[in-house]
Amino acid sequence: MTSFASYRTIARLLALPLLAGATMLMVATSYPGVAGAAEDLIVNYDQSQLVRLPRPAAEIIIGNPAIADVNVQNNNLLVVTGKTFGITNLIILDAQRNVIQEQRILVKRDDVKVVNLNRGTMRQSYNCTPQCNPSIVIGDEDAYFDSVSKASEKKIGFSERATDQAGPASGN
């Protein structure tokens, strides 16, 4: 039969690690000047996400600008655009060079309503919203990628010329 004193000793031994862990958690969350790491920001390829800041940013650092781009809308609002697939990070500092926010950015493919046509090792991508139209994504077959790119450039050229010919809109 186990005595009451033995249970009390076991309870004390178990309480010590719990108390130490709780103390460490309180110190870590209440230390001034250190921003908590935010959850990963997931941005779709060729799309943007808004990032709202709790206070004005003075400096913005992006780990790899080839993966994601950041544009400042105002001191408290950023637009993060996924440029290519990959992982990078974002560090935002205030005027006193304190970290406001630090987080990873994951740029991924938006697979909603996307159809991939695979022929052996060659892939062609289509957006089906609701009709399937060619879209180019890094990793598509080279000839397909080039063909769709050229067609897209021509379409943009037609649109720009039509806009230039229309001239500026009148305010009357």
At 66, is the pLDDT very low, low, confident or very high (cuts 50, 70, 90)? very high
64 in Cβ contact with 80 (< 8 Å): no
At 12, is the pLDDT very low, low, confident or very high (cuts 50, 70, 90)? low
Mean pLDDT of 25-49: 66
d(CA 116, CA 109): 12
148 in Cβ contact with 155 (< 8 Å): no
Residue type, 49: Q
95 in Cβ contact with 58 (< 8 Å): yes
pLDDT confidence of residue 4: 52
Q: Which position has the higher pLDDT, 146 or 18?
A: 146
At 22, is the pLDDT very low, low, confident or very high (cuts 50, 70, 90)? very low
Q: What are phi and psi of 140, to 5 degrees?
A: -70, 160
Partnered with residue 135 across adjacent β-strands are 125
Three-state secondary structure along 39-65? CCEEEEECCEEEEECCCCCCEEEECCC
Mean pLDDT of 127-151: 90
d(CA 141, CA 48): 26
pLDDT confidence of residue 6: 58
Fold classified for 41-108: Immunoglobulin-like (2.60.40)
At 104, is the pLDDT very low, low, confident or very high (cuts 50, 70, 90)? very high
Report the relative pairing of strands 99-108 and 41-44 from DSSP bridges.
parallel
Q: Which position has the higher pLDDT, 121 or 25?
A: 121
Residues of the chain with CATH 2.60.40.1080: 41-108
Neighbours of 92 (CB within 10 A): 24
- Indicate the SS3 state at residue 88: strand
